[in-house]
Structure 1
């Protein structure tokens, strides 16, 4: 077991024991605690495309990289990765073995939960927006709260009363940590971060419809240039690039899980040109739709594992 400073000594041992007591197999495991899942992987993975929801991911053992647009975030067992809005990402586990599996604790959160922790909204809390994803150092206080939260899996009768308290403490520790104010901005009404978060939700809900950039900017009282600036600052992508990633990931899901033909999947996610869809699909996933689906199905038949830490 490697020790990188985030989960140290006795605390790390306790957390590992709790995970191994409840999780025996590779995969993403939802728990009896709302918004809490545990990911286990005993092998390295190919890049996985997914939409990650607002959440914090603590690696307990192993390492991973997450790609947002052209930006790469690396983190390991000394760190956590926090995502403040829904984002299309690629993730790849880079450190995992059968003897020392990759373990990650994922805790989802809502804007309301952040606001419960924020006791005041002082003027100095209003900071310029930054990327909606960041990596920071895990503190002993966070680890202690995680241990208390996972212990509840052994006493289900206590979950409803105590889990919200421990989840709130974890968010509190994160907000008190370096860069915590940036996360807070996504919950404070009227901030640029919160405004772009609303726009992201609109795009996610209406990805198959034509994107009217001017109308979106007007709806949040921003000039077109300011809208583009803040959107790319927060997501690492332009609005059109963001929509394209959402469309392509949904199209891939339709191809794999519902067995649609490429042209039909393209139409359902908003493409008018099948040839354009195929070109953009190949650029993102490395193969044309039909070949990509065949390869994924072959990997599944060989029982190559897929690990999801987002929905």
Structure 2
């Protein structure tokens, strides 16, 4: 099995290098909307990274993820599943100029998972009431790797073929994940009425209204749950409280505004929901290690390299 995975991993690296080059640093969106790549030519310290519902596979290098208690590592032999919009601290390992870190991500919606699940026999999923973390790791296998390879190979084909076939292959990938060990994990988050699904709805609500004042009581009422239960389950799934999560969303949005718009930091502070520019600057510096203005300049310089 390892031989099959390694052989196909090298094929994927070859396709990516021929089409895009491996000299890129940072993210790369492909012609398939659900598929993107990430590259790094150096190891990094732990940095906050935003995840969304997706399947992540490393093609070269390795990574450590701090999500809760102890950092977890994964490499070319494992895959990662995120079932919600989450934040984790990530450290890239085993990355050099000669052999950069390369990973791929296939994004999906929980609605896509549900569309597959509802056509399957759900009886095998005896869903416990216990809430679990929103990230799941497991060993890669031939059955999962095969459609992933076919999806990336589609990038060599005409646009018409990409548009027609990519949704089918992604649905096949979800089907395989649901039939695999990860099926239990995905089912808990996708099925209406489960605690995990309710928390995902709260996550989406906070994300969509990040610049408004957080009303936990109203959020709890929305999902028919007590405030204490909401706090407890939210923290289990996302590794942070609702207030901490909103703060992360606000600062991520602020980073994008500073990078892409010619706008003062104080204006950004108010736009993302802060009442005090000085508090915004302190919290931004705490998260990114430098002031909003300095960080924006740093990111622009990185893009031009």
- TM-score normalised by L of structure 2: 0.88
CA contact (8 A) 1:71 1:236 kept: no
Name 1:134's counterpart in structure 2. 136
Q: CA deviation at 1:212?
A: 0.7
Name 2:121's counterpart in structure 1. 120
1:195-274 maps to which residues of 2 (within 5 A)?
Answer: 195-274=198-277
Distance in structure 1 (CA, Å) of the matches to 2:4 and 2:99: 15
CA contact (8 A) 1:73 1:135 kept: no
Name 1:53's counterpart in structure 2. 52
1:132-211 maps to which residues of 2 (within 5 A)?
Answer: 132-156=134-158, 157-211=160-214
Structure 1 gaps of 5+ residues are: 304-311
Structure 2 vs 1, CA of residues 254 and 194 (structure 1 numbering), >3 Å: closer, same or farther? Answer: same
Q: CA deviation at 1:70?
A: 6.2
User: Which piece of structure 1 moves more, 285-294 or 109-118?
Assistant: 285-294
Structure 2 gaps of 5+ residues are: none
User: Which piece of structure 1 moves more, 210-219 or 113-122?
Assistant: 113-122
Name 1:101's counterpart in structure 2. 100
Distance in structure 2 (CA, Å) of the matches to 1:205 and 1:71: 30
Query: What is the aligned-residue RMSD (CA, Å)?
Result: 2.4
User: Which piece of structure 1 moves more, 21-30 or 194-203?
Assistant: 21-30
Structure 2 vs 1, CA of residues 174 and 263 (structure 1 numbering), >3 Å: closer, same or farther? Answer: same
Distance in structure 1 (CA, Å) of the matches to 2:240 and 2:2: 33
Distance in structure 2 (CA, Å) of the matches to 1:68 and 1:259: 34
2:18 is the alignment partner of 1:15: no
Structure 2 vs 1, CA of residues 225 and 43 (structure 1 numbering), >3 Å: closer, same or farther? Answer: same
User: Which piece of structure 1 moves more, 208-217 or 161-170?
Assistant: 161-170
**May I ask how many residue pairs the two structures share in their alignment?**
299
Name 1:39's counterpart in structure 2. 38
Q: CA deviation at 1:245?
A: 0.8
Q: CA deviation at 1:35?
A: 0.4
Query: Which whole-Å deviations, capped at 9, do the CAs of 1:262-308 have from their partners, x for residues lacking one?
Result: 2221111111122222222222122233343344445556x2xxxxx
Distance in structure 2 (CA, Å) of the matches to 1:6 and 1:286: 42
CA contact (8 A) 1:7 1:78 kept: no
Greater relative CO (CA pairs within 8 A, separation 6+): 1
Distance in structure 1 (CA, Å) of the matches to 2:157 and 2:300: 39
CA contact (8 A) 2:44 2:91 kept: yes
- TM-score normalised by L of structure 1: 0.86
Q: CA deviation at 1:132?
A: 0.9
Q: CA deviation at 1:72?
A: 3.2
User: Which piece of structure 1 moves more, 13-22 or 132-141?
Assistant: 13-22
Give the SS at the match of 1:190: coil
